[in-house]
């Protein structure tokens, strides 16, 4: 009855909607996904190095790298999110300060809060960030953290975040994968990417 | 009954209308032709309209009714609902607190009366005001609703209302109506080649599958009020609940999909109707029982509400909750959390005051000092921030953000 | 959005065709004649089947009676098909122990995520250029938790819709005026997972405008199509 078809379906926000959009665009446009080769490269201004190859299903400012499919492994790379923008670049209409938007002057602790709450409103459940520690992203001081959540079907996920936003705009990487097997499998490769970004 | 397949003749005429000469050439006769064609089309469509708009009547469900014919419409709906229920029982969003679930089951059983054995209650963690009943007896309540309810009488009204939908088999009636409405939509589509009635017109006819109509909502309200009275509850509480949630709905930014109402949109009309319908003098409120039941979970639900970051609505809600004899310390803390996130001019000061109120009224949760520290730091009051953070880390030595905060204290 | 709705939506965007189409993939090193079933134990995970009636108006009416019958016939047909290949069968049962139940549920949920990815990146041609042509998907060795003894697990998903007489008439009329009206459609997939290492050794997509799951013969035919190319 209404349970599965309620009049007001919770609109997917943030990267859930982004994922749907990517799906539609690729289905319709048949556009090719850029190949990300192993090695050093600059991604939207971020100089990094990856030991593995990936396929990029995203676009400038919102990269979506995957190896087996977004629900199995996803490395999102957001660059230069401005004050007032949604943390996952979702299009929100209405009042400029409502919803999970970035604001200039947020500390690392508050940015972590923003990312967690942004994920919560993307219909993910039991979202939490753990082990927050100082880190560097492209020479700027920021933080890293681990993530855990369940998708709405109940599959357990884990993730890693590397972020900096103390200079007026927010840039961050977020890796997510099912906890059972995929997260650990490519964890070292993602950590290597994070390390490559430290110096800048 | 399925719509009659529209005859070739009607369609041929519609087509000939479409390809008629330009009106300017022969004004009057062209107009006459147009009018005639329009009339014919409307006649055909209206036949379909009449069958479509008649809401099928469905008998009330008898308690412990015999098993359904597996080929029936109802059986098909119930099968889908049963599958949904299986998924729901495994869902990560289900609240499994045994004491709270027991309270909800017992209350629902009381309200369902003879139908008690047929109904199962599920509490789902979603920060919106919502309760839904499936034709298979599955009752779903969202935590956002329990957060907004003040006493057992208000909750009893909501549950009674949902039981009303079940007993009157509104889902089945709605499904039957949808099927006939869809025939209209198809008819419009098939006829529509001429341009008078196009694809756009057919969209409106669909709507959503299981949204109940006004008369059904009214009937369910009446059922809810009836059960309140029969069980000795104060029936004024139905109106007060709707008045309270209407205040929240009023401040919603219409542009955003931020309504807290999933399937029961608040309206002044409904509030007024329920307020005026109240008849009992005295009657139970059940405030203490209700508060005791939700006490353990309330903190989590308030956190979920803050996470939405829809400040206008949250502010109205917290204002109301702050005036109730609930855990005042808890409400102060969440006001602080809200203002800190909103960060309008003056908000950090408001947040600081709220956190301090929380602490003063006995809230010992470490997050109070964390929030206080963050707000003070945003205002550049670093010495005060430092002492707040010191206190936070002392109370929460395992804090996940410890390493970051210690970095500031060096 | 629930899983089955998401899958059904994905599958529904397939282009309709008048013929039955199957499209299967095998992992590297696995041939169609591999006869992996000989002497092996295959765990059949409860087929996820739902049948609806496609009404004149385009609305899909869920049919409890058809669905129950289809599940029964499909299970029987699966059993027969696999036995004829020399496999021993077991049917998945949800365990009582809550910890085990949760672990196994995670494996089944992971299979759904893998299946969706295969659909998206192999059948809907959302390219993964770094993967190239290789068919290389796995659930990881943790999937062994589903059953300590079986060698393979077989998963099945099927949605089917049957048009009424009126609908067929309307479709004919619609065609004359160039309005597309869809008939019922049978869509589904099947996958075979090696429980030793979690590899998906075979995956098949079925898309058909014909086929009738409501009777034993029709169910057997559909199951045969779903198992097309299975290396058991």
Q: Which domain holds residue A62?
A: 34-196
Is B404–A132 a contact, with Cβ atoms under 8 angstroms apart?
A: yes
- Local confidence band at C99 (pLDDT 50, 70, 90 cut-offs): very high
Residues A119 and A189 in one domain: yes
pLDDT tens digits for range B245-301: 889 888 876 654 444 554 556 678 889 999 999 998 889 999 999 999 999 999 999
The residue among B277, B304, B319 that closes a domain is B277
Q: Which residues contact A91 (CB under 8 A, 6 or more apart)?
A: none
Residue B178 gets the label, from left (phi > 0), alpha (psi -120 to 50) or beta, of alpha
pLDDT at residue A39 above 80? yes
Residues B156 and B271 in one domain: yes
Is B309–A92 a contact, with Cβ atoms under 8 angstroms apart?
A: no
Is C113–A72 a contact, with Cβ atoms under 8 angstroms apart?
A: yes
Shortest Cα distance, chain B CAs vs residue A103, angstroms: 9
B71 touches chain C (CB under 8 A): yes
Place of tokens 């009330």: B60
| The most confident of A49-58, B36-45, B276-285, C132-141, by mean pLDDT | A49-58
In a domain, B352, yes or no: yes
Neighbors of chain A with 3 or more C-beta pairs under 8 Å? B, C
Which chain C residue lies closest to A65 (C-alpha atoms)?
Answer: C128
Residues B259 and B345 in one domain: no
pLDDT tens digits for range A67-112: 999 999 999 999 999 999 999 998 876 666 788 999 999 999 999 9
Residues A27 and A124 in one domain: no
B178 touches chain C (CB under 8 A): yes
Place of tokens 């990881």: C140
The residue among B237, B256, B277 that closes a domain is B277
- Residue B406: predicted pLDDT: 96
Tokens of B184: 């209209």
C13 touches chain A (CB under 8 A): yes
Is A132–B401 a contact, with Cβ atoms under 8 angstroms apart?
A: yes
Shortest Cα distance, chain A CAs vs residue B244, angstroms: 21
Residues B263 and B370 in one domain: no
Is B132–A3 a contact, with Cβ atoms under 8 angstroms apart?
A: yes
A35 touches chain C (CB under 8 A): yes
CB C2 within 8 A of CB A4: yes
Listed residue (A28, A38, A37, A67) closest to C128, CA to CA: A67
Taking the C-alpha atoms of residue C23 and residue A25, their distance in angstroms, rounded to an integer, is: 23
Shortest Cα distance, chain B CAs vs residue A101, angstroms: 9
In a domain, B73, yes or no: yes
Instruction: Give the three-state DSSP class for B157.
Output: helix
Which chain C residue lies closest to A185 (C-alpha atoms)?
Answer: C140
- Local confidence band at B61 (pLDDT 50, 70, 90 cut-offs): confident
Shortest Cα distance, chain C CAs vs residue A150, angstroms: 11
In DSSP terms, which residues pair with A1 in a beta bridge? none
Helix axes B402-409, B382-395, angle to 10 degrees: 140
Instruction: Give the three-state DSSP class for B137.
Output: coil
Enter the DSSP assignment of A32: P
Tokens of B222: 């009446």
Higher-confidence residue: B155 or B211? B155
The number of C-alpha atoms within 13 Å of C218 and in the hemisphere containing its C-beta is: 15
Residues A100 and A153 in one domain: yes
pLDDT tens digits for range C155-194: 988 888 887 666 666 666 555 554 444 556 777 889 999 9
Residues B63 and B158 in one domain: yes
Enter the DSSP assignment of B192: G
Query: Nearest by CB to C59, which of B87, B90, B179?
Result: B179
What is the DSSP track for chain C?
A: --HHHHHHHHHHTSPP-SS-EEEEEE-TT--GGG-TTTT-EEEE---EEEEEEE-TTSPEEE-HHHHHHHHHHHHHHHHHHHHTTT-EEEE----SSHHHHHHHHHHHHHHHHHHHHHIIIIIS----TTTTT----B--GGGGGG-SS-SEEEEEEEEEEEE-HHHHHHHHHHHHTT-------EEEEEEEEETTT-BEEEEEEEEES---TTSHHHHHHHHHHHTTT---
Other C-beta atoms closer than 10 Å to the C-beta of B196 total 18
Query: Nearest by CB to B92, which of A1, A134, A154?
Result: A154
- Across the range A169-175, mean pLDDT stands at 98
Residues A84 and A140 in one domain: yes
Tokens of C116: 């969706």
- Across the range B19-45, mean pLDDT stands at 43
Average pLDDT, chain B: 79
Place of tokens 């479409």: B18
pLDDT tens digits for range B137-156: 999 999 999 999 999 999 99
Residues B111 and B208 in one domain: yes
- Residue B348: predicted pLDDT: 98
Shortest Cα distance, chain B CAs vs residue A196, angstroms: 21
Higher-confidence residue: C170 or B237? B237
Q: Are strands B120-124 and B138-142 parallel, antiparallel or unpaired?
A: parallel
pLDDT tens digits for range C46-67: 788 888 887 766 667 778 888 8
B179 touches chain C (CB under 8 A): yes
Taking the C-alpha atoms of residue C73 and residue B79, their distance in angstroms, rounded to an integer, is: 18
Residues A143 and A118 in one domain: yes
Residues B68 and B214 in one domain: yes
- Local confidence band at A185 (pLDDT 50, 70, 90 cut-offs): very high
Residues of C in contact with A125 (CB under 8 A): none
Query: Nearest by CB to C166, which of B2, B68, B78?
Result: B2
Query: Nearest by CB to C56, which of B2, B77, B90?
Result: B2
Is C130–A54 a contact, with Cβ atoms under 8 angstroms apart?
A: yes
pLDDT tens digits for range B305-340: 999 999 999 999 999 999 887 788 999 999 999 999
| The most confident of B17-31, B244-258, C66-80, by mean pLDDT | C66-80
Residues A94 and A191 in one domain: yes
Average pLDDT, chain C: 81
Residues A1 and A89 in one domain: no
Tally of domains in chain B: 2
| CATH code (residue B367) | 1.25.40.10
Neighbors of chain C with 3 or more C-beta pairs under 8 Å? A, B
In a domain, B236, yes or no: yes
Tally of domains in chain A: 2
Query: Nearest by CB to C65, which of B70, B178, B185?
Result: B70
ipTM of the complex: 0.86
In a domain, B47, yes or no: yes
Which chain C residue lies closest to A26 (C-alpha atoms)?
Answer: C126
Higher-confidence residue: A11 or B144? B144
- Residue B6: predicted pLDDT: 31
Residues B142 and B247 in one domain: yes
Residues B242 and B334 in one domain: no
- Residue A9: predicted pLDDT: 35
C106 touches chain A (CB under 8 A): yes
Taking the C-alpha atoms of residue B202 and residue B191, their distance in angstroms, rounded to an integer, is: 11
CB C138 within 8 A of CB C110: no
Is C65–B189 a contact, with Cβ atoms under 8 angstroms apart?
A: no
**Any long-range contacts for B158-161 (C-beta under 8 Å, 24+ apart)?**
B158/B131, B158/B224, B158/B241, B159/B107, B159/B108, B159/B111, B159/B131, B159/B224, B160/B111, B160/B223, B160/B224, B160/B225, B160/B226, B160/B227, B160/B228, B161/B131, B161/B220, B161/B221, B161/B223, B161/B224
What backbone phi and psi angles, to 5 degrees, belong to B383? -65, -45
Q: Which domain holds residue B349?
A: 327-409
In a domain, B282, yes or no: no
Higher-confidence residue: B360 or B280? B360
**Residues making up chain A, counted from first to last:** 200
- Residue B339: predicted pLDDT: 97
- Across the range B111-121, mean pLDDT stands at 96
Residues B124 and B35 in one domain: yes
CB A156 within 8 A of CB A147: no
Residues of B in contact with A95 (CB under 8 A): 253, 255-256, 312
Measured CA angle at B255 (ends B254, B259), to 5 deg: 55
Residues of C in contact with B3 (CB under 8 A): 56-57
Higher-confidence residue: C182 or C132? C132
Is B343–A103 a contact, with Cβ atoms under 8 angstroms apart?
A: yes
Residue pairs between chains A and C whose CB atoms are closer than 8 Å: 84
B311 touches chain C (CB under 8 A): no
Residues B268 and B331 in one domain: no
Residues A21 and A39 in one domain: no
Other C-beta atoms closer than 10 Å to the C-beta of B392 total 22
B48 touches chain C (CB under 8 A): no
Is A181–C121 a contact, with Cβ atoms under 8 angstroms apart?
A: no
What backbone phi and psi angles, to 5 degrees, belong to B13? -65, -45
Residues A86 and A4 in one domain: no
Residues B17 and B156 in one domain: yes
Average pLDDT, chain A: 85
Residues A153 and A174 in one domain: yes
Query: Nearest by CB to A27, which of C107, C110, C124?
Result: C124
Residues A14 and A105 in one domain: no
Query: Nearest by CB to B401, which of A2, A112, A117?
Result: A112
C168 touches chain B (CB under 8 A): no
pLDDT at residue C142 above 80? yes
Rg (CA), chain A: 16
Shortest Cα distance, chain B CAs vs residue C59, angstroms: 7
Residues A48 and A143 in one domain: yes
In a domain, B48, yes or no: yes
Residues B345 and B247 in one domain: no
């Amino acid at each position: 009855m209404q349970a599965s078809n309620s009049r007001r379906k919770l609109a997917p926000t943030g990267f859930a909607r982004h994922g749907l959009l990517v799906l539609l665009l690729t289905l319709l446009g048949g556009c090719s996904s850029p190949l990300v080769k192993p090695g050093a490269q600059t991604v939207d201004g971020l100089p990094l190095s990856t030991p593995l190859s990936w396929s990029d299903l995203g676009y400038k400012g919102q990269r979506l790298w995957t190896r087996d499919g977004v629900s199995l492994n996803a490395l999102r790379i957001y660059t230069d999110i401005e004050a007032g923008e949604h943390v996952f670049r979702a299009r929100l209409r209405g009042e400029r300060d409502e919803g999970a938007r970035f604001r200039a002057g947020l500390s690392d602790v508050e940015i972590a809060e923003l990312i967690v709450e942004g994920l919560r409103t993307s219909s993910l459940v039991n979202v939490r960030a753990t082990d927050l520690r100082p880190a560097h992203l492209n020479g700027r001081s920021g933080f890293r953290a681990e993530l855990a959540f369940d998708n709405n079907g109940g599959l357990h996920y884990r993730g890693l975040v590397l972020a900096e936003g103390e200079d007026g705009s927010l840039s961050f990487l977020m890796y997510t994968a099912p906890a059972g097997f995929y997260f650990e499998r490519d964890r070292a490769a993602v950590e290597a990417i994070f390390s490559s970004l430290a110096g800048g | 009954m399925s719509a009659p397949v529209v005859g070739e003749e009607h369609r041929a005429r519609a087509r000939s209308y479409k390809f008629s000469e330009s009106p300017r050439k022969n004004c009057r006769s062209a107009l006459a032709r147009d009018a005639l064609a329009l009339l014919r089309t409307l006649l055909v469509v209206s036949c379909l309209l009449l069958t479509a708009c008649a809401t099928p009547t469905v008998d009330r469900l008898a308690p412990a009714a015999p098993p359904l014919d597996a080929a029936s419409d109802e059986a098909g709906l119930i099968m889908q609902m049963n599958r949904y229920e299986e998924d729901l029982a495994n869902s990560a969003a289900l609240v499994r607190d045994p004491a709270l679930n027991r309270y909800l089951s017992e209350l629902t059983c009381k309200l369902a009366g003879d139908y008690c054995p047929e109904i199962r209650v599920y509490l789902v963690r979603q920060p919106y005001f919502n309760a839904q009943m499936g034709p298979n007896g599955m009752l779903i309540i969202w935590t956002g609703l329990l957060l907004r309810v003040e006493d057992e009488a208000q909750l009893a009204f909501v549950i009674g209302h949902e039981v009303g939908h079940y007993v009157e088999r509104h889902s089945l009636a709605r499904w039957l109506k949808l099927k006939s409405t869809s025939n209209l939509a198809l008819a419009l589509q098939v006829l529509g080649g001429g341009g008078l009635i196009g694809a756009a017109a057919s969209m409106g006819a669909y709507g959503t599958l299981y949204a109940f109509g006004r008369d059904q909502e009214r009937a369910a309200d009446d059922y809810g009020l009836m059960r309140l009275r029969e069980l000795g509850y104060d029936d004024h509480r139905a109106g007060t609940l709707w008045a309270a949630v209407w205040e929240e709905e009023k401040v919603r930014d219409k542009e955003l999909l931020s309504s807290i109402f999933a399937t029961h949109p608040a309206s002044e009309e409904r509030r007024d109707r329920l307020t005026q319908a109240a008849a009992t003098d005295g009657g139970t409120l059940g405030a203490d029982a209700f508060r005791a039941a939700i006490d353990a979970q309330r903190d989590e639900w308030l956190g979920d509400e803050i996470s939405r970051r829809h400040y206008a609505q949250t502010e109205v809600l917290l204002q109301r909750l702050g005036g109730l004899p609930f855990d005042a310390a808890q409400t102060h803390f969440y006001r602080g959390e809200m203002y800190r996130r909103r960060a309008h001019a003056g908000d950090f000061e408001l947040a600081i005051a709220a956190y301090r109120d929380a602490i003063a009224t006995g809230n010992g949760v470490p997050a109070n000092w964390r929030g206080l520290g963050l707000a003070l730091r945003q205002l550049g009051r670093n010495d005060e921030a430092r002492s707040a953070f010191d206190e936070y880390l002392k109370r929460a030595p395992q804090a996940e953000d410890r390493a970051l905060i210690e970095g500031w204290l060096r | 959005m629930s899983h089955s709705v998401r899958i059904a939506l994905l599958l529904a965007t397939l282009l309709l065709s008048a013929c039955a189409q199957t499209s299967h993939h095998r992992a590297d090193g696995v041939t169609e004649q591999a006869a992996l079933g000989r002497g092996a134990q295959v765990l059949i995970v409860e087929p996820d089947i739902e049948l609806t009636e496609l009404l004149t108006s385009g609305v899909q009416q869920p049919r409890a009676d058809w669905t129950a019958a289809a599940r029964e016939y499909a299970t029987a047909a699966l059993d027969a098909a696999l036995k004829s290949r020399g496999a021993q069968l077991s049917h998945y049962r949800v365990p009582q122990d809550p910890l085990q139940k949760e672990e196994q549920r995670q494996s089944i949920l992971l299979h759904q995520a893998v299946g969706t990815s295969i659909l998206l990146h192999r059948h809907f041609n959302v390219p993964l250029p770094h993967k190239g042509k290789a068919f290389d998907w796995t659930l990881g060795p943790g999937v062994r938790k589903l059953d300590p003894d079986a060698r393979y697990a077989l998963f099945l998903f099927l949605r089917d819709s049957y048009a009424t007489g009126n609908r067929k008439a309307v479709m004919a009329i619609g065609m004359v005026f160039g309005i597309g009206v869809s008939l019922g459609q049978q869509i589904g997939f099947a996958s075979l997972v090696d429980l030793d290492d979690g590899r998906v050794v075979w995956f098949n997509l079925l898309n058909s405008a014909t086929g009738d799951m409501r009777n034993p013969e029709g169910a057997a035919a559909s199951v045969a199509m779903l198992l097309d190319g299975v290396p058991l």
